[in-house]
Amino acid sequence: MPLKFTVNGSPVSLEDVPGEATLLEVLRERLDLLGVKEGCGVGECGACTVLLDGQAVNSCLIAAWQAQDREVTTVEGLAHGRELHPMQQAFAETGAVQCGFCTPGMILSSLDLVSQEPDPGESEIRRALSGNLCRCTGYHDIVRAVRRGAQRLRGEGSES
């Protein structure tokens, strides 16, 4: 089946997308967007998180056809040239990135959160990230990163 949608601000038109293909498969295998990771394949780990019309979703659970005429944002679409998005920069600065496998999903879930709650507290951050698993950290630095990124997105400095 044909599929037309927007990915990271650019229109995409694909032919012959299998009806059973997931959005994850299309993004990784057809569009080479490797920041979208497959961890569990059943919506439990959050490594495949993307923004679909601005909302965080597990792309392994979304049929590719459900993206028809919609906007998909992956971690690759956040930076402007060599300038990182404020949330990406916050993750780098706070040491919230260890192996990095979960980081794209964490960042996109964080952006969904701050779009709804520009000044989230720790409990809100932890709740928003509860669907994103990290095996490397105790989440402390990730929470700090989200706070710092949220501050920057609000136009404030960041001390944390």
> Residue 157 pLDDT > 80, yes or no?
no
> Residue 62 pLDDT > 60, yes or no?
yes
> Is there a contact between 122 and 143 (Cβ–Cβ < 8 Å)?
yes
CATH class of the domain comprising 86-153 = mainly alpha
pLDDT at 32 (0 to 100): 98
Closest to 7 (Cα-Cα) out of 67, 80, 92: 67
- How far apart, in whole angstroms, are the C-alpha atoms of residue 151 and residue 160? 10
pLDDT at 85 (0 to 100): 98
> Is there a contact between 44 and 108 (Cβ–Cβ < 8 Å)?
no
> Residue 160 pLDDT > 80, yes or no?
no
Q: How many CB atoms lie within 10 A of CB 105?
A: 28
CATH architecture assigned to 3-77:
Roll (3.10)
Where are the chain's structural domains?
3-77, 86-153
